Amino acid sequence: MQLQTITSQAVQLLHFLHRHSDEVQSGQNVAVAVGITYQRFVQIASHLRRDGLLISTSGRYGGYTLGRPAQEISFHDVALSVQGRVCISHCKGDDKRCQNAHCKMYEFLLTLQDNMIADMENTFIADLK
């Protein structure tokens, strides 16, 4: 299982804003620092703003800042915002039991997914070096 690229880029974007929290950053500056196009930045920023992880201000001194302290933004918050629910396998995409009652992988995948999500919930933007 691999997280979507947009999640990695969103984490990098928020981490950059955390490291430069002493001043408001322009979208163009953030995009260049993270290594993405400005259009991709706008796409990611719209998700993060919607969920309160990013604040944008307009005007002469406008730009972007974190919507919450970096110690309160988990990796899981970011993933949910930009890619939706994180699933380890297509058969773990909902809360219903697998249609194949004899599947020996179900409990293993459920445990693996629960552990991964718990790790993501306990890793915050401020924790990243």
* CATH code (residue 33): 1.10.10.10
Does residue 29 sit within a domain?
yes
Query: Tokens for 108?
Result: 């293993």
On whether the pTM is more than 0.95, the answer is no
Segment 16-35 mean pLDDT? 96
Is the pLDDT assigned to residue 100 strictly greater than 90? Answer: no
**pLDDT by residue (tens digit) across 34-82?**
999 999 999 999 999 999 999 999 988 899 999 999 999 999 999 999 9
Domain that holds residue 60: 5-86
Count the domains in the chain. Answer: 1
Query: Are 124 and 71 in contact, with CB atoms under 8 Å apart?
Result: yes
Q: Report CA Rg, the chain.
A: 17
Does residue 111 sit within a domain?
no
Q: State the DSSP H helix or E strand holding residue 65, giving kind and residue range, or none if neither.
A: strand 63-66
Does residue 129 sit within a domain?
no
Query: Tokens for 47?
Result: 């998700």
Does residue 59 sit within a domain?
yes
The pLDDT score that the predictor gives to residue 3 is 75
Does residue 17 sit within a domain?
yes
Does residue 72 sit within a domain?
yes
Cα–Cα dist 9/11, whole Å: 5
In sequence order, which residues have a C-beta less than 8 Å from that of residue 89 and are 6 or more positions away? 1, 105, 109, 113
Does residue 32 sit within a domain?
yes
